């Protein structure tokens, strides 16, 4: 049996679900500034594939790296961790 390579996983918040079967997930990191030492928020956005179209804005989700599905989609939804209130 052939082993697959480890795929990257990210946890983030859905910032847009206006597309069909696609979501935009924002991952926020706190990074310490190299010179001044202040913590700065860095945001990275990922376009992910949502097959069932069941995510809403504000949901916390886990996404996984996958094959390219379109020009910008290289991630897919694994699970919804927490629904928006």
- Enumerate the domain spans of the chain: 9-82
Q: pLDDT band at residue 10, thresholds of 50, 70 and 90? A: very high
pLDDT 10s digits, 22-75? 999 999 999 999 999 999 999 999 999 999 999 999 999 999 999 999 999 999
Q: pLDDT band at residue 1, thresholds of 50, 70 and 90? A: low
Is 9-82 assigned to CATH 1.10.1040.10? no
pTM: 0.88
Torsion of CA 34, 9, 62, 76, to 10 degrees: 120
Return phi, psi of residue 81, to 5°.
-80, -40
């Amino acid at each position: 049996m052939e082993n697959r390579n480890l795929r990257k996983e990210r946890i983030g918040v859905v910032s847009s679900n206006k597309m069909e079967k696609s979501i935009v997930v924002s991952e926020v990191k706190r990074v310490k500034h190299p010179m001044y030492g202040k913590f700065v928020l860095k945001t990275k956005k990922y376009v992910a594939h949502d097959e069932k179209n069941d995510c809403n804005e504000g949901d916390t989700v886990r996404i996984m790296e996958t094959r390219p599905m379109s020009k910008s989609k290289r991630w897919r939804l694994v699970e919804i961790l927490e629904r928006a209130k």
